[in-house]
């Protein structure tokens, strides 16, 4: 689709290192020339909206619990009209911004701006979320270090907006909408493939950890409805028989580890947004974890946020650290905890006001039932699963990388087009008409969000959406 795209014939310097050179026919204006603050409030009859990273402005009902619960007093919430530009003032520096398609109300902590008729809302949505604009939000934001940054209109008003003529804005929107529709189809197919591969992998794991490796072994009722029959020589015990609760304060000179939904326990200096993790200065406020221990995120254990520590380190005080007893193979139980049936039980045992923020503490975890089998058999099952699922794991990783590369391509393509590095006018004219319901774009935004955020686990080293 991008074959034959060329640069514009003439360029001029923008004066911005992020925008670089722009087409001579395009205007460069301060934001205050195209956007005016709007703080109307008092419309508690309107639906709640939020601004979410990579998804822009969304209905709160569609957030899936990934944004904070709204205040009980909505009288100060700001009115947002279709076409308004909205920023999450604490998260704009990492791209939590967008132009709304909906009428509604949003937190008074956000910045709401009414756009000039000179800028098309769909073009604005692409342009304001481009890397060149986000880089300006970073500079305009106030805060200490790279973590806590707040962005207010007085600091934002002079950021530079690049504005093509209206017909070129429409051509850019038309081209990018079509490009994203194709990317949407690619991602949809790859997500479906990952789902099928994951189902095969989970079936192998579930069978092995609940029935063992001998297909002829006699079975007996486990006494647990969700588990069913188990090998006759296995037992059912409480988690406290397999693990002890380790409560040790952290010490200096140890790496800070985190639990990832997909990667287990890792030591990463950057968060999933490429920013340095916020660390607690006092190491004793962390929890000490030893090599071979397990840790789980109290709020995300029901999603599989649990893993085996590859070495000594420090973990968030929001985690529970469990020490294996002598006959416990942590790699085996890590597989058990990641089965769908066990995660469902964890969710039932977790407590909280909001279901998506349910917490599982040690007192509840220790009482949960689990399987007990000979240590050697645990190790054999772990080795068998590793061998049988190796090709599936590799295929899933390869497919996820293909999706990541496609999303990177989309970001780069959008950036090059909205800053005038590529001229799409002729290409846009030859494109067929698209459906007018916008369903493809909504699907793409959702899939982009899943790809970028599915590994997210809250702890004191990461910033929440607000």
Tell how many helices (H) and how many strands (E) occur in the chain: 10, 26
Give every strand in the sheet of 319-324, ordered side by side: 243-245, 319-324, 294-297, 306-308
In this structure, the number of other CB atoms found within 10 A of the CB of residue 385 comes to: 20
Q: Taking the chain, what is the end-to-end CA distance rounded to the nearest angstrom?
A: 38
Q: Which residues pair with 314 in a beta bridge?
A: 256, 288
27-163, superfamily in CATH?
A: DNA methylase specificity domains (3.90.220.20)
- The confidence band for 459, taking pLDDT boundaries of 50, 70 and 90, is very low
- Residue 123 in this model has a pLDDT that exceeds 50: yes
Is residue 238 within 8 Å of residue 275, measured between CB atoms? no
164: Cβ–Cβ under 8 A, 6 or more apart, which residues?
A: 23, 25, 26, 27, 123, 172, 420
Each residue's pLDDT tens digit, 239-285 = 999 999 999 998 888 989 999 887 889 886 654 444 455 566 678 88
Question: Which DSSP helix (H) or strand (E) runs through 332?
Answer: helix 330-337
Which of residues 355 and 404 earns the better pLDDT score?
Answer: 404
Distance CA 274, CA 265 (A): 18
Question: What pLDDT, on a 0 to 100 scale, did the predictor assign at position 450?
Answer: 45
| Distances in whole angstroms, Cα of residue 191 to Cα of each of 182, 261, 398, 416, 455 | 14, 17, 12, 27, 15
Each residue's pLDDT tens digit, 153-206 = 888 888 999 999 999 999 999 999 999 999 999 999 999 999 999 999 999 999
Distance CA 26, CA 308 (A): 55
Structure tokens at 295: 């840790």
């Amino acid at each position: 689709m991008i074959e034959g795209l060329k640069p514009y014939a003439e360029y001029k310097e923008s004066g911005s290192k992020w925008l670089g050179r722009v087409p001579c026919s395009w205007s460069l204006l301060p934001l205050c020339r195209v956007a005016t603050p709007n703080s109307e409030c008092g419309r508690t009859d309107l639906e709640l909206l939020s601004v979410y990273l990579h998804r822009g402005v969304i209905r709160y009902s569609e957030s899936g619990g990934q944004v904070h619960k709204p205040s009980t007093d909505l009288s100060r919430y700001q009115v947002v009209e279709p076409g308004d530009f909205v920023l999450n003032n604490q998260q704009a520096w990492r791209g939590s911004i967008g132009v709304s398609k909906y009428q509604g109300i949003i937190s008074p902590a956000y910045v709401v701006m009414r756009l000039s008729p000179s800028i098309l809302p769909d073009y604005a949505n692409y342009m304001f979320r481009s890397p060149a604009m986000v880089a300006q939000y970073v500079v305009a934001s106030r805060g200490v270090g790279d973590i806590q940054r707040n962005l207010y209109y007085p600091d934002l008003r002079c950021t530079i907006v690049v504005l093509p003529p209206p017909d070129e804005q429409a051509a850019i929107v038309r081209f990018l909408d079509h490009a994203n529709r194709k990317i949407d189809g690619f991602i949809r197919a790859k997500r479906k493939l990952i789902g099928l591969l994951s189902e095969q992998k989970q079936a192998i794991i579930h069978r092995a950890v609940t029935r063992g490796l001998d297909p002829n072994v006699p079975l007996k009722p486990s006494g647990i409805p969700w588990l069913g029959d188990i090998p006759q020589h296995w037992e059912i015990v409480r988690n406290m028989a397999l693990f002890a609760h380790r409560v040790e304060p952290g010490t200096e000179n140890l790496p800070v580890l985190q639990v990832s939904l997909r990667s287990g326990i890792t030591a990463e200096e950057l968060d999933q947004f490429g920013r340095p993790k916020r660390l607690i200065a006092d190491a004793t406020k962390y929890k000490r974890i030893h090599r071979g221990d397990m840790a789980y995120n109290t709020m995300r254990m029901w999603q599989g946020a649990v893993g085996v520590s590859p070495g000594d380190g420090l973990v968030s005080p929001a985690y529970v650290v469990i020490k294996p007893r002598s006959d416990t193979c942590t790699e085996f139980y890590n597989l058990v905890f990641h089965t769908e049936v066990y995660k469902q039980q964890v969710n039932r045992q977790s407590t909280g006001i909001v279901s998506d923020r349910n917490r599982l503490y040690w007192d509840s975890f220790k009482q949960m039932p689990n399987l007990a089998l000979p240590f050697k058999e645990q190790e054999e099952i772990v080795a068998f699963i590793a061998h049988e699922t190796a090709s599936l794991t590799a295929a899933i990783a390869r497919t996820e990388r293909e999706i990541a590369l496609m999303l990177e391509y989309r970001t780069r393509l959008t950036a090059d087009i909205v800053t005038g590095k590529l001229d799409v006018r002729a290409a846009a004219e030859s494109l067929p008409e698209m459906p007018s319901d916008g369903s493809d774009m909504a699907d793409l935004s959702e899939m982009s969000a899943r790809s970028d955020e599915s590994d997210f686990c809250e702890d004191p080293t990461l910033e929440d959406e607000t």
